[in-house]
């Protein structure tokens, strides 16, 4: 029987995901075989495992931190919102159903059996399981049939450490209030708390910690400083869509309402001279060197958004100025001339017009295609990017097939001799179903080099995203280890 420990938070965005990742790396550094687990994730950022199953990116990050291959048992339930009221439910890596919030709530007892089965599979393979909760355990209206916080903790009998975010303000109140709203049996599971995102002199915080202990005899297991790590974050907590980074090369990413997998652009953001600009209808595309239409969980709704907001006209302006345009997955479908939905997979619209920048037609289908891929680019970009012959890797997550018609050629030859994507006759507009292509450093370097030359910038050596990620996990683990009582946490683990 493996050891286990669970991190729950006083609310969302308090840092549960990164602290879970940090503990995975710390324990692995100390010689333990460790795996992450989160029973239910809600995110439009997902990943495909080696066996073609879909899971949340947060557990992929945690698995990488633990130096193991991600597997769907680490995240058996993934919710991908498709409207304000409903989500596509991914169960054990495959589409289970499309459910409204009330329908999902009524299905939780069934899902709990799958959650426990997945957890048991991990227990057989690893010495330690580090578990992440979701939101707050003090959402008392959702306690019945809970499968992700205290309901799960009781089902698998795990101790809990509570995380509070001092950057939000009121951290002592949030820790105390969360604890007091729990049932006595749940309170007994909490073995201590961690204060996260602290700025300043820790000694000034100590009197508050001592005063809280008088009211709530729980040990403070650490105070973690506010830090910024180049690690993929979840779409529900990210600040990257608002934060502005300076850079001589500006890559515009259309901020679609149902944008999925913005983690596609993390590797680009690591380039020192590149600034990612997320563009809404209020923004200008002036000064953009490369334009990307990202993936979408609701392609038809996002296409209608482009039309109704006037963003499509700005995209056409970029096209007329010969600025390279890349569409990824749903963005590839939007670039085509038609998107058909005969089975009402997404909406009641049976067919709509795309942007018409690629002469392709997409038909949405009920079955989702999830697979990892490797391939080779077939063409160069018109701006001089020498991408032909460059090897890339990535993964597909889409519900539809795209047919190429006249004036377009395939973009990539995959290792299984299947052709992917499309490029227009002028070689200025490209579309692909592959997420993660910018992670391939040789492609990234080839794409950016002509822009650097045009702007008179220094040549930049291709950066290995894999090495950069691993360093970020080491940096995260170093900061967290220095800030927490790791021996006390190991004692809680037993």
pLDDT for res 234 = 64
| DSSP 8-state class, residue 82 | S
Q: Give residue 388's domain range.
A: 249-456
The separation between CA 81 and the C-alpha centre of its own chain, rounded to angstroms, equals 13
Summarize pLDDT for 370-384 with one digit per residue, the tens.
999 999 999 999 999
Q: Are residues 217 and 123 in the same domain?
A: yes
Q: Where are the beta strands (DSSP E) in 209-324?
A: 220-225, 249-254, 259-260, 274-279, 290-293, 295-296
Section 135-163 average pLDDT: 94
Pairwise CA distance, residues 273 & 248, whole Å:
5
- 435 annotated active-site: yes
Give CB contacts under 8 A, 24+ apart, made by 83-89: 83/298, 87/42, 88/297
The catalytic residue among 329, 369, 398, 459 is 329
Summarize pLDDT for 385-419 with one digit per residue, the tens.
999 999 999 999 998 999 998 789 999 999 988 99
Question: What is the pTM assigned to this prediction?
Answer: 0.91
Residue 326 has pLDDT above 60, yes or no: yes
- Return the percentage of the chain with pLDDT > 70, whole number: 97
Give the CATH number for residue 479: 3.40.50.300
Give the CATH number for residue 446: 3.40.50.880
On whether the CB atoms of residues 30 and 20 are closer than 8 A, the answer is: no
pLDDT for res 344 = 86
pLDDT for res 156 = 97
- 24 annotated active-site: no
Q: pLDDT band at residue 193, thresholds of 50, 70 and 90? A: very high
Handedness of CA 328, 334, 340, 341 (dihedral sign): positive
Domain count, the chain: 2
Residue 238 has pLDDT above 60, yes or no: no
| Residue 225 placed within a domain | yes
Pairwise CA distance, residues 243 & 46, whole Å:
22
On whether the CB atoms of residues 163 and 15 are closer than 8 A, the answer is: yes
Q: Which single residue is written with the structure tokens 């009524």?
A: 106
| Residue 301 placed within a domain | yes
Pull the structure tokens for residue 341.
């939905």
pLDDT for res 239 = 54
Q: Can you name the residues that pair with 71 across neighbouring β-strands? A: none
SS3 245: coil
Q: Which single residue is written with the structure tokens 């995209």?
A: 315
Pairwise CA distance, residues 30 & 3, whole Å:
15
Q: Are residues 200 and 288 in the same domain?
A: no
């Amino acid at each position: 029987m493996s050891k286990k420990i669970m991190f729950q938070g006083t609310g969302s965005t308090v840092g549960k995901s990164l602290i879970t990742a940090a503990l995975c790396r710390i324990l692995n550094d100390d010689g333990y075989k460790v795996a992450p687990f989160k029973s239910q994730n809600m995110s439009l950022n997902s990943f495909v495992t080696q066996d073609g199953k879909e899971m949340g990116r947060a557990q992929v990050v945690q698995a990488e931190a633990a130096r193991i291959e991600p597997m769907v048992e680490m995240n058996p339930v993934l919710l991908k919102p498709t409207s304000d009221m409903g989500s596509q439910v991914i169960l054990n890596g495959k589409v289970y159903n499309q459910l409204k919030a009330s329908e999902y709530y009524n299905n939780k007892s069934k899902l709990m059996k799958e959650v426990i089965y997945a957890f048991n599979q991990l227990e057989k393979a690893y010495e330690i399981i580090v578990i992440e909760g979701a939101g707050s355990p003090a959402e008392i209206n959702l306690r019945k049939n809970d499968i992700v916080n205290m309901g799960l903790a009781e089902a698998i009998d795990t101790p809990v450490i509570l995380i509070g975010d001092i950057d939000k303000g009121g951290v002592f109140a949030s820790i105390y209030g969360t604890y007091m709203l729990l049932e006595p049996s749940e309170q007994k599971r909490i073995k201590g708390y961690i204060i996260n995102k602290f700025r300043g002199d820790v000694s000034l915080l100590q009197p508050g910690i001592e005063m809280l202990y008088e009211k709530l005899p729980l040990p403070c297991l650490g105070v973690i400083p506010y830090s910024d790590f180049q690690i993929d974050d979840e779409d529900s907590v990210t600040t990257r869509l608002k934060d502005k980074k300076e850079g001589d090369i500006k890559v515009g990413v259309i901020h679609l309402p149902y944008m999925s997998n913005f983690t596609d652009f993390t590797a680009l953001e690591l380039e020192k001279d590149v600034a990612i600009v997320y563009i809404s209808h209020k923004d200008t595309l002036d000064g953009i060197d490369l334009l990307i239409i990202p993936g979408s969980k609701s392609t038809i709704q996002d296409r209608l958004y482009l039309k109704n907001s006037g963003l499509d006209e700005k995209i056409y302006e970029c096209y007329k100025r010969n600025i390279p345009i890349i569409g990824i997955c749903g963005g590839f479908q939007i670039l085509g001339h038609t998107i058909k939905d005969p089975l009402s997979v997404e909406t009641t619209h049976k067919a709509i017009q795309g942007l018409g920048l690629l002469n392709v037609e997409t038909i949405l289908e009920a079955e989702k295609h999830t697979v990892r891929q490797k391939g080779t680019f077939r063409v160069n970009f018109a701006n001089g990017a020498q991408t032909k012959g460059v090897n890339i890797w990535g993964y597909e997550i889409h519900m539809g097939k795209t047919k190429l018609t006249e004036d377009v050629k395939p973009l990539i030859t995959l290792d299984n001799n299947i052709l992917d994507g499309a490029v227009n006759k002028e070689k200025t507009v490209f579309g692909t179903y592959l997420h993660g292509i910018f992670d391939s450093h040789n492609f990234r370097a080839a794409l950016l080099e002509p822009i650097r030359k045009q702007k008179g910038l220094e040549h930049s050596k291709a950066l290995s995203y894999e090495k950069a990620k691993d360093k970020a996990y080491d940096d995260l683990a170093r900061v967290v280890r220095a800030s927490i009582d790791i021996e006390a946490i190991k004692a809680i683990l037993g």
